Amino acid sequence: MLKREFVYAIRIDLEKDTIVQSDRLSLNIEVPILFIAGGVLLLIARFPSIPAPSWLNDDNRTK
């Protein structure tokens, strides 16, 4: 599973480099797209159906 995710990450990175370097996507368009995508991912991470990590709970912290 990890191997497949690594291959997808490399593939996405290579595709991004070819699009930007070939001037099919300018930097003025790429940066806002990345910020919007990051914001959407942050909103998805706040959904109640996604549990918080155990290290984030106050019950597990020592005082």
**What's the first-to-final CA gap in the chain, in angstroms?**
38
Task: Please say whether the beta carbons of 20 and 27 come within 8 A.
Answer: yes
Is residue 9 over pLDDT 70?
no
Cα(36)–Cα(30) distance, rounded to whole angstroms?
10
Is residue 38 over pLDDT 70?
yes
Q: What is the pLDDT of residues 39-54, one digit of tens each?
A: 998 898 888 888 877 8
**How many domains does the structure of the chain reveal?**
1
Give the pLDDT score at 40.
Answer: 92
The answer to whether residue 8 sits within a structural domain is: yes
Give the pLDDT score at 63.
Answer: 52
Compute and round to an integer the Cα radius of gyration of the chain. 18
Is residue 17 over pLDDT 80?
no
Domain assignment of residue 16, given as a range:
1-56
Name the average pLDDT for the chain.
72
The answer to whether residue 63 sits within a structural domain is: no
